């Protein structure tokens, strides 16, 4: 395995400028650390991308009839994937990310979407006014200055959200070669943001901390603003969250490797469930 360049953040944007949140180790670095002599984790299992079994045009169906490169725009009417706008202490826009409703009052997102400068989080469901979050938290092992794969955060609301929660996939690991659906409010191939989109991707690598997909002409890719959104896998005919969109190996979103925090990791799932014990699960 050849050492890759470090992964770039693909979630937090400020006036359409990518804010470099990931410093030090990144998801990409973590995945190859063993092969490159940088760590003790076993390298993930990998395989070439197969032909898609779920067409991109059908990806919105995974969102319950609801910005992804090479994806399609989805209705926001019933979607559990929401837009998060972070504000600083002066109330100014500090970034935007995606998140997924996992319980009546809880939203799963990425830790790097909630930097220490975040004073409040506004939640946009796609229609109506923004809602102000009651509280938010990052995984305690996440570090902005020395990023690991614990890129998971939870946003809590004071009242129930008018969205059916998306379950967490905790009963099994993702499998190399299976088709997943990715969704978010980030940029598309035309750098147009703030539109909910979904697309399909194939799992190309799995480790205890990180899942991986590759962009191809047949599959979709994550981009700026999609961070915190879900990677969904079908289990028993139900779509469930297997990963949280975390990083891309390049700022050019129409090629490269996508990385996702593995929600089935014991530390990540324990953190999420400690904040949202009523989270749906599969």
What is the residue extent of each domain of the chain? 7-282
User: What's the pLDDT score for residue 25?
Assistant: 25
User: What's the pLDDT score for residue 148?
Assistant: 58
User: What's the pLDDT score for residue 277?
Assistant: 98
Query: Mean pLDDT over residues 68-93, rounded?
Result: 85
Pick the residue with more confidence: 243 or 49? 243
- Residue-wise burial string across 56-69, b where 16 or more C-beta atoms lie within 10 A, e elsewhere: beebbebbbebbbb
Question: In a 10 Å sphere around its CB, with 0-12 CB exposed, 13-18 middle and 19+ buried, how is residue 6 labelled?
Answer: middle
Pick the residue with more confidence: 253 or 203? 203
Is residue 160 over pLDDT 80?
yes
User: What's the pLDDT score for residue 65?
Assistant: 37
Nearest to 154 by CA among 109, 114, 95: 109
CA distance linking residue 79 with residue 60, whole number of Å: 9
User: What's the pLDDT score for residue 118?
Assistant: 95
* C-beta pairs of 24-27 under 8 Å, 24+ apart in sequence: 24/143, 24/145, 24/146, 24/147, 25/146, 25/147, 25/148, 26/147, 26/247, 26/259, 27/147, 27/149, 27/151, 27/210, 27/246, 27/247, 27/259, 27/260, 27/261
How many CB atoms are located within 10 Å of the residue 90 CB?
7
User: What's the pLDDT score for residue 128?
Assistant: 87
Query: Mean pLDDT over residues 47-58, rounded?
Result: 46
How open is the CA angle 259-191-10, to the nearest 5 degrees? 25
- Residue-wise burial string across 157-185, b where 16 or more C-beta atoms lie within 10 A, e elsewhere: beeebebebbbbbbeebbebbebbbbbbb
User: What's the pLDDT score for residue 207?
Assistant: 94
Pick the residue with more confidence: 145 or 282? 282
Is residue 86 over pLDDT 70?
yes
Q: What is the pTM of this model?
A: 0.78
Give the position of tokens 């799995």: 206
User: What's the pLDDT score for residue 108?
Assistant: 98
Fold for 7-282, please state it.
Thrombin, subunit H (2.40.10)
Express as a percent the part of the chain with pLDDT over 70: 71
Pick the residue with more confidence: 215 or 231? 231
Pick the residue with more confidence: 72 or 12? 72
């Amino acid at each position: 395995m050849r050492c890759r360049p470090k992964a770039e953040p693909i979630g937090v944007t400020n006036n359409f400028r990518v804010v470099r949140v990931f410093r030090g180790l990144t998801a990409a670095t973590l995945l190859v650390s063993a092969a490159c002599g940088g760590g003790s984790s076993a390298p993930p299992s990998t395989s070439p991308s197969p032909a898609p079994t779920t067409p991109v045009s059908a990806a919105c169906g995974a969102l319950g009839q609801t910005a992804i490169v090479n994806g399609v725009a989805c209705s926001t009417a019933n979607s559990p994937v929401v837009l998060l706008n972070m504000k600083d202490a002066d109330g100014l826009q500090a970034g935007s990310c995606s998140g997924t409703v996992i319980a009546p009052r809880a939203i799963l997102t990425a830790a790097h979407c909630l930097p220490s400068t975040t004073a409040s989080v506004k939640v946009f469901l796609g229609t109506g006014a923004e809602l102000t979050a009651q509280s938010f938290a990052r995984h305690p092992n996440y570090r902005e200055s020395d990023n690991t794969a614990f890129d998971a955060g939870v946003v809590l609301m004071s009242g129930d959200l008018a969205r059916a929660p998306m379950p967490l996939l905790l009963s099994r690991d993702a499998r190399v070669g299976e088709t997943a659906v990715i969704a978010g409010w980030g940029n598309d191939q035309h750098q147009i943001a703030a539109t909910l989109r979904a697309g399909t991707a194939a799992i190309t690598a799995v480790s205890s901390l990180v899942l991986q997909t590759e962009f191809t002409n047949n599959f979709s890719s994550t981009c700026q603003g999609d961070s915190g959104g879900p990677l969904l896998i079908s289990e028993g005919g139900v779509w469930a969250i297997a990963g949280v969109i975390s990083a891309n190996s390049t700022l050019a979103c129409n090629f490269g490797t996508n990385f996702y925090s593995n929600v089935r990791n014991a530390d990540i799932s324990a953190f999420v469930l400690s904040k949202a014990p009523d989270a749906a699960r599969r």
